[in-house]
Amino acid sequence: MSRAPLRVAVLGAGAVGLAVIRAFQDASDRLAPDDGAPLSLVGVAVRDLERARGRGVPSELLTDAPAHLVASPGVDAIAELMGGDEPARTLIAAALAASKPVVTANKHVVAHHGPELEAISRRTGAPFRFESAVGAGIPVLGPLASELAASRVAAVRGIVNGTTNHILTAMASAGRPYAAALAEAQTAGYAEADPSGDVDGDDAVNKLVILVRLAFGVWLVPSSVERRPPTVAGTGRPGIGGVTVDELKAAAAVGLTVKLLASSRRLDDGAVAATVLPTALPSDSPLGRTGGVDNRVEIDADPVGRVAFMGPGAGGPATASAVLGDLLAVARGAAGTWAGLPPAIGPAIDAAPDPVDPRRFFASTLPEQLVRDQVEIETARGGGFIAAAQPLDELRAGLAAAGIDATLYPIAE
């Protein structure tokens, strides 16, 4: 017995939206599950109709009025791929309020308006799915909410931004200055014309907020997640903007590399510590070896131990894969991304500061002997050093006494 199709409207035809639309055009056989309704594309909302036509989107599907598609009785489900805050948030909320399932790759909206949208979704019973918002094509949110639901998660960490990882990899492996590596990422389509959301760590913060929601049952206030690494005199630039080629060379000399690491863990008092910081990692560790646009997310839980998810974390096709997977899940009657997890506890809360102190740090500074005279170090080579585990305040005081200022990169094992 044939099933009525699930009629889908796509909002946005950028890199991800266009890849989704092309899947409907070229691979429709894979969008008709045996255990669910076949997917049917019935509308596409864009700002520039002529440009969309020129990119192969059929004229009969196009409109420049996304709200009309959301309200249309001829649309069963919405794929929001516009990005940004508004009007995306309003459109998602309106669709969920009308009991229409929503699939989105918009990590900003999910992270900043998660409590509101989750409440609407649970009230109306409309599935809200956002697998593609973290890790692009890597299936990590589904397993975290479903297959790992019986385990108590203690910590989640990972490289979750492909743009910054691509830049740091180019700087470390080819010695390219930051500006040149950024320009290369922009040319390759991995970085936006305004790259601040990626390089300043905002994108990674949004993804960490989403991971924390599924791992620990709370929404975090994104602005409360620390993005600035410590320096001797205070704090550095957010994200990777302050990382230099010389620092990466010095890190390599002592067996380390620097990555933008999103980290969270459950504290004994129930609070959640969360940071997104440029962090020194052993070069031969799984995270240290994760290069280019690849992402890697590691989850520590009891009784399963550590599990990891790795794959392409940027690009339209990879993200579209997860969007289409979520649409197929809706067609099969699946619930929201949180699956059977209970509702989040209360409104969004502030992230707790990372309480690890004392800890080891890496820094790049000269002269080596002056550093040795002021602080306890484990290794010094190639212009860089690893400070032995000690309170941050003591390390700062010792280096300040030597007249040294430098970025202090926390070392994660």
Cβ neighbourhood burial of 51 (10 Å; 0-12, 13-18, 19+): exposed
Given the residues 100, 107, 207, 259, the one annotated as active site: 207
Rounded to whole angstroms, what are the CA distances from 229 to 15, 249, 343, 367, 372? 32, 19, 33, 22, 22
CA distance linking residue 290 with residue 310, whole number of Å: 9
CA distance linking residue 66 with residue 85, whole number of Å: 15
Helix (H, G, I), strand (E, B) or coil at 6: strand
- Whether the Cβ atoms of residue 59 and residue 53 lie closer than 8 Å to each other: yes
User: Which letter, b or e, does each residue of 274-312 get, where b requires 16 or more Cβ atoms within 10 Å of its Cβ?
Assistant: bbbbbbbbbeeeebbebbebbbbbbbbbeeeeebebbbb
Look up 107 and say whether it is catalytic.
no
Residue type, 318: A
Neighbours of 35 (CB within 10 A): 9
Query: Cis bond leading into 230, ω under 30°?
Result: no
CA distance linking residue 202 with residue 200, whole number of Å: 6
User: Which letter, b or e, does each residue of 208-221 get, where b requires 16 or more Cβ atoms within 10 Å of its Cβ?
Assistant: bbbbbbbbbbbbbe
CA distance linking residue 395 with residue 321, whole number of Å: 46
| Helix (H), strand (E) counts: the chain | 14, 15
Neighbours of 355 (CB within 10 A): 11
Backbone φ and ψ for 160, nearest 5 degrees, come out as: -120, 10
DSSP 114-176: HHHHHHHHHHHT--EE-GGGSSTT---HHHHHTTTTTSEEEEEEEE--HHHHHHHHHHHHH--
Q: Which of 329, 186, 175 is nearest to 252 (CA)?
A: 175
- Two tokens at 129? 């799915």
Q: Which residues pair with 39 in a beta bridge?
A: 6
Reported as type and span, the H/E element at residue 258 is strand 256-266
Give the residue numbers marked as catalytic. 207
